[in-house]
Amino acid sequence: MNEDMPDHKIVLNEHVDIKHLDGFARLRAYFLAGILVTAPISITIYLTWTFLRFIDKRVTALIPNQFDLFNFLPFPVPGIELFKSILSLILVIVFFILVGWFARNFMGRLLYRFAEYIVDRMPIIRNIYGALKQIFETIMTSQSQAFRDVVMFEYPRKGIWALGFVTGITKGEAQRLTDTEIVNVFLPTTPNPTSGFLLFIPRKDLVFLSMTVEEGIKMIVSGGIITPPDRTDPDVILSEPDQKNGNHKKGKNKITGL
């Protein structure tokens, strides 16, 4: 039953007996399992610490030395650097909250529109600003259709399937010049999903999957090594909680021949 299971996963599975492994195989399994357990945690802690240090350096640089209270401590305090980093992150969050609050009132909206008016008169800069603004508005607005569905479609030719994300319903000239309803689909690259291609695909040619966007991204980043479970399988549907807006599409589309 467990013949195809890697040794390190056998060790991590508490329901599997590892007595059948010989001495070297057991040590190898323990070693790989140790890496599997330690690496994600260590990398997460390292990236979190790096991010906090980055924020701390940027915020600390804005505070004059005479106003930095940590410079007046009579003795070194253990963990002070971590505390400063967390405090800097809190200050950044408070700053964004205050900016958002200010932008919501009359004076803030007036200054915001005036700043946009100035930027709109600057060539090149206005294009960069406009593109970034549209991207952030699309990603952060709760009512957008950005990355709401994971789909499969035949690309770059018939018989070869690709994984992509629906980013919205096609509108404007692109839709007007076509005879069928088309959908905006982002086709990411592996292992860097931040780059890719924008495709306009007829809705009838899309196969909507039950996996979540997070699972789709993991699959793309891992190059297919991480494969989410098939939630159209009755056993999986009964054993797993619903993870996508309260319901899944079950068996709506099937790929002939797969």
Ordered by where they begin, the domains of the chain are 1-104 (no CATH), 149-239 (2.30.30)
Task: Give the pLDDT confidence score for residue 254 in this predicted structure.
Answer: 46
Task: Give the pLDDT confidence score for residue 258 in this predicted structure.
Answer: 40
Task: Give the pLDDT confidence score for residue 198 in this predicted structure.
Answer: 93
DSSP state of 1: -
> Which residues, in sequence order, are CB contacts of 200 under 8 Å at separation 6+?
170, 174, 178, 182, 183, 184, 185
Contact criterion met (CB below 8 Å) for 201 and 183: yes
Q: By CB neighbour count within 10 A (0-12 exposed, 13-18 middle, 19+ buried), where does 202 fall?
A: middle
Task: Give the pLDDT confidence score for residue 45 in this predicted structure.
Answer: 79
172 dihedral zone (left: phi>0; alpha: psi -120 to 50; beta): left
Distance CA 168, CA 139 (A): 11
Rounded to 5°, the CA angle 105-107-111 comes to 115
251 dihedral zone (left: phi>0; alpha: psi -120 to 50; beta): left
Rounded to 5°, the CA angle 136-55-41 comes to 90
What is the biggest distance separating any 2 CA atoms in the chain, rounded to whole angstroms?
76
Distance CA 166, CA 146 (A): 7
> Which residues, in sequence order, are CB contacts of 208 under 8 Å at separation 6+?
149, 150, 151, 249, 252, 253
The series of mean pLDDT values per 10 residues for the chain, 258 residues long, is 49 53 70 72 80 76 66 63 75 82 82 85 83 69 65 94 91 89 92 87 94 89 86 59 45 43
Task: Give the pLDDT confidence score for residue 201 in this predicted structure.
Answer: 94
Contact criterion met (CB below 8 Å) for 150 and 213: yes
Task: Give the pLDDT confidence score for residue 252 in this predicted structure.
Answer: 46
Distance CA 121, CA 84 (A): 41
Task: Give the pLDDT confidence score for residue 222 in this predicted structure.
Answer: 87
Task: Give the pLDDT confidence score for residue 249 in this predicted structure.
Answer: 45
Task: Give the pLDDT confidence score for residue 73 in this predicted structure.
Answer: 64
